[in-house]
Homo-oligomer: A and B are copies of this chain.
């Protein structure tokens, strides 16, 4: 689903690494990921799902990022740096995406009068906590782990750079904004699809 940050992570890494791939577009709002054909590929019913060989599938965006990046400069070479990359990816899925991505989903994809808008105040509070942790870390470094862009940056970039879609103001996070600009300047960078 092109407008999903979790799916965009994979497209961005594949383009940065010049990996060949076929993109199959699904709209989760149609219910397709809860139907038997898709559940046979990913029993948890979520996008993205990678078919890495015919009939064999891998789920979870950040696990797929690691799978695609192993052997490249985007997966760190030392045990400690790999653990730190994973630390930031688990941070992304537990303390960042459930607030920043969900706020974006509510603002972009649900009707203006939808009752879930009542969740936004709490989502903003928690999302700003995550952005503050990122700002503190990036104040002293160019990327999350080591000296170059890794899977941790790709994972965190996807929803951070689109946080304003969910009503977040990034003006108070200059280090985060400078980091976003560094990623957008990478060779072969591709932007996320706009929501229709």
Q: Cβ of A23 < 8 Å from any Cβ of B?
A: no
Say which residue of B44, B60, B94, B136 sits within 8 Å of A43 (CB atoms): B136
A76-92 Cβ-contact flags toward B at 8 Å (1 or 0): 00011011101101110
B90 touches A67 (CB 8 A): no
Considering the complex, which residues of chain A in the window 48-99 have a beta carbon less than 8 Å from any beta carbon of chain B? 52, 58-64, 66-67, 70, 79-80, 82-84, 86-87, 89-91, 93-95, 97-98
- If the complex has contacts A63-B90, A90-B93, are A58 and B44 also in contact, measured as CB distance less than 8 A? no
Complex: A62 Cα to B94 Cα, angstroms: 11
User: Which of A's residues lie within 8 Å of B, judged by CB?
Assistant: 43-44, 52, 58-64, 66-67, 70, 79-80, 82-84, 86-87, 89-91, 93-95, 97-98, 133, 136-137
